[in-house]
Amino acid sequence: MAERKGYVATTKFLIASPTKVRPVAHLINKQPCSKALAILANMPQKGAGLISATLKSAIANALNQNSKLDEDMLYVKEIRVDEGPRLKRVWFRARGRADQLLKRMCHITVIVDEKAGE
């Protein structure tokens, strides 16, 4: 029997480096949603706010699709931070030279699911 995937929310094309967002994401993986939101609210990183918005969207998706769910029973089943496209910009340097500045993007995917009945 196939395992249920859970309730998914995805945010794409966020201008933030995936290598800076991933450590924040690893902190909340497999945590209850209420605890994960509390952790993210107390972090100074930009990625914490981006992940928080995606997590709130996943929770709202779960509650709208299944009215029998209790918000306290949800946990972060999986969180992925994938690399998106890069914006290439010119960075002017001394003596008429130019370098390339890469503005990196990321895609955040959060899957929440209900804890098994205790």
pLDDT tens profile 10-20? 999 999 999 99
Given a contact cutoff of 8 angstroms between Cβ atoms, the answer to whether 31 and 76 are in contact is: yes
Total-model pTM: 0.89
Average pLDDT value for the chain: 93
Cα distance between residue 94 and residue 107, in whole Å: 35
Percent of the chain with pLDDT over 70: 95
Backbone angles phi, psi at 105, to 5 degrees: -125, 160
Q: What is the pLDDT along the chain (118 residues), one digit of tens a residue?
A: 456 688 999 999 999 999 999 999 999 999 999 999 999 999 999 999 999 999 999 999 999 988 788 889 999 999 999 999 999 999 999 999 999 999 999 999 999 999 876 5
CA angle 116, 7, 59 (to 5 degrees): 90
Alpha-carbon distance of 75 to 101, in angstroms, equals 38
